């Protein structure tokens, strides 16, 4: 089925929300509601009361008790899919085959094979499908990448990333192995993706150690090493049972760059890029660049909506599934390394290290 034609090139994209997940309720739908490019017209949940309550909170006109009903709604042009990880592939493909464009929460899939199926569905249907990696749409990343491209810290040689939170809720899908839970897939995916973006390369080998919760059996600590071409290295740490923290350090031959909140930024938060070049003590930046508050969920939804309307170029950049596939390939290799105790090569990467 072809995607529904837009009412007009400047008309807001009509969105449907596939599931009443907390991320949709608290972050994404309010961001869409604040944008003239988006109109949330429907929501579906498998519990009718939950769907209706979600719709009432956000003044959404239609609430469905079946996900299939949302996909059949002719007024819906695009789907936001925040379902549990193990359902991303099936319902993203079903939405595409119903003619809907799809913005799917991260991690996009559990395996590279699942993403290959999404790529095939995109080719069959002609719709837009992307991973909802909202941090990539924050202006602090535009600024950080520009600093790297300008050689501000010289040749980028290494990265250190940390992302942590506290969650011991046994009912949370992130703590359930059968739904694709665990810290590596949840918050580790941010660090993996943005490390790849900063290096503008794919790792050639990876190694990991996963420490698992004895009750949940999901990983609650992940220590990772990613080796990139040219001897470049990244060390990443993701944890789900320590206090909230995130930070990214990028080390160059002529200086260093730090992002204080590289992944999840409150919309009212002023982001700071810290630049250091040989100062003592070495932790003291020589320059602090402030990035004004921005809602990266809104920026993501607007950029995707522009693409749905046929725009291309600045403000409507593509985030191809093929690029998101790289994050899942690295994740698969890290899981394999934790089991084998050896360096592993992500699917599709070259085999040379260094």
Q: What is the helix (H) or strand (E) element at residue 183, kind and residue range?
A: helix 183-186
Q: Cis peptide before 281, with omega less than 30 degrees from 0?
A: yes
| Residues 125, 148 within the same domain | no
In this structure, the answer to whether residues 119 and 144 fall within a common structural domain is: no
Residue 313 falls inside a structural domain = no
pLDDT level of residue 349 (50, 70, 90 thresholds): low
pLDDT attached to residue 278? 78
Tell me, yes or no, whether 41 and 90 share the same domain: yes
Residue 347: phi and psi, rounded to 5, are -60, 125
Q: What is the mean pLDDT of the chain?
A: 94
The distance of Cα 110 from the centroid of its chain, to the nearest Å, equals: 13
Asked if the model's pLDDT at residue 160 lies above 90, the reply is yes
Task: Kindly state the percentage of the chain with pLDDT values over 90.
Answer: 92
b/e for 7-27, b at 16 or more Cβ within 10 A? eeeeebbbbbbbbbbeebbeb
From the candidates 14, 100, 106, 319, give the one annotated as an active-site residue.
106
- pLDDT at residue 238 above 80? yes
pLDDT of residue 282: 73
Q: Is residue 204 part of a domain?
A: yes
| Cβ-based neighbour number of residue 110 at 10 Å | 18
d(CA 13, CA 4): 11
Q: Is residue 123 part of a domain?
A: yes
Q: How do residues 292-306 score in pLDDT, each as one tens digit?
A: 999 999 999 999 999
For residue 350, pLDDT beyond 70: no
Domain limit, last residue, from 132, 148, 181: 132
Q: For residue 171, which phi and psi values (nearest 5 degrees)?
A: -90, -10
In a domain, 203, yes or no: yes
pLDDT greater than 60 at residue 235: yes
Query: Is the domain of 116 the same as that of 202?
Result: no
User: Are 263 and 143 contained in the same domain?
Assistant: yes
Same domain, 18 and 124: yes
| pLDDT surpasses 90 at 280 | no
Same domain (yes/no): 76, 20: yes
- The answer to whether residue 55 sits within a structural domain is yes
pLDDT band of residue 8 (cuts 50, 70, 90) is: very low
Strand order in the sheet with 241-252: 205-212, 219-228, 232-239, 156-166, 241-252, 255-259, 271-276, 287-291
Q: Is there a single domain that holds both residue 124 and residue 144?
A: no
> Structural domain of residue 115, as residue ranges?
13-132
Q: Is 100 a catalytic residue?
A: no
pLDDT at 28: 98
What SS3 state is found at 296?
A: helix
Looking up residue 240, the CATH number of its domain turns out to be: 3.30.360.10
Boundary residue ending a domain (132, 160, 185): 132
Average the pLDDT over 13-34 and give the result.
Answer: 97
- Is residue 126 within 8 Å of residue 2, measured between CB atoms? yes
pLDDT at 352 over 50: no
Interval 85-111: pLDDT, tens: 999 999 999 999 999 999 999 999 999
Q: Are residues 145 and 184 in the same domain?
A: yes
Residues 280 and 189 in one domain: yes
Which residue, 106, 132, 158, sits at the end of a domain? 132
- What pLDDT score does 248 carry? 98
Q: Looking at the 3D structure of the chain, how many domains does it have?
A: 2
183 assigned to some structural domain: yes
Structure tokens given for 56: 């009432």
pLDDT band at residue 9 using 50, 70 and 90 as cut-offs:
low
Q: Verify that 32 and 177 share a domain, yes or no.
A: no
CATH number at residue 97: 3.40.50.720
Average pLDDT over residues 62-76: 98
Residues 209 and 252 in one domain: yes
In a domain, 7, yes or no: no
Q: What is the pLDDT of residue 283?
A: 79
In a domain, 332, yes or no: yes
Q: Cα 49 from chain centroid?
A: 29
């Amino acid at each position: 089925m072809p995607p529904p034609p837009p009412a007009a090139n400047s008309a807001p994209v009509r969105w449907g929300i596939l599931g009443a997940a907390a991320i949709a309720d608290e972050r994404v739908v309010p961001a869409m509601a604040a944008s003239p490019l988006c109109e949330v017209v429907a929501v579906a949940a498998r519990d009718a009361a939950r769907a209706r309550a979600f719709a009432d909170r956000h003044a959404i006109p239609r609430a469905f008790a079946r996900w299939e009903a949302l996909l059949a709604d002719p007024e819906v042009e695009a789907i936001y899919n925040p379902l549990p990880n193990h359902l991303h592939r099936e319902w993203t493909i079903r939405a595409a085959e119903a003619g809907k464009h799809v913005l799917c929460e991260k991690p996009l899939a559990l395996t590279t094979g699942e993403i290959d199926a999404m790529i095939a569905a995109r080719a069959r249907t002609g719709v837009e499908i992307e991973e909802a990696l909202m941090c990539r749409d924050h202006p602090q990343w535009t600024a950080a990448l520009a600093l790297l491209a300008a050689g501000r810290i010289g040749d980028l040689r290494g990265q250190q990333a940390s992302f942590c939170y506290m969650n011991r809720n046994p009912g949370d899908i992130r703590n359930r192995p059968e739904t694709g839970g665990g810290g590596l897939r949840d918050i580790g995916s941010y660090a993996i993706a943005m490390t790849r973006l900063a290096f503008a390369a794919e790792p050639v080998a990876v190694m990991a150690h996963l420490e698992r919760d004895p009750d949940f059996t999901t990983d609650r600590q992940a220590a990772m090493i990613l080796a990139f071409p040219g001897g470049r290295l990244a060390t990443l740490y993701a944890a789900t049972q320590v206090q909230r923290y995130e930070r990214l350090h990028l080390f160059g031959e002529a200086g260093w760059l730090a992002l204080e909140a590289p992944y999840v930024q409150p919309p009212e938060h002023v982001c700071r890029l810290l630049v250091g070049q040989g100062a003592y003590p070495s932790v003291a930046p020589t320059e602090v660049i402030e990035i004004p508050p921005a809602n990266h969920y809104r920026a993501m939804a607007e950029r995707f909506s522009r693409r749905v309307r046929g725009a291309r170029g600045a403000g409507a950049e593509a985030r191809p599934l093929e690029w998101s596939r790289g994050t899942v390939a690295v994740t698969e290799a890290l899981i394999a390394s934790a089991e084998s105790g050896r360096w592993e090569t992500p699917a599709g990467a070259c085999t040379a290290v260094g």
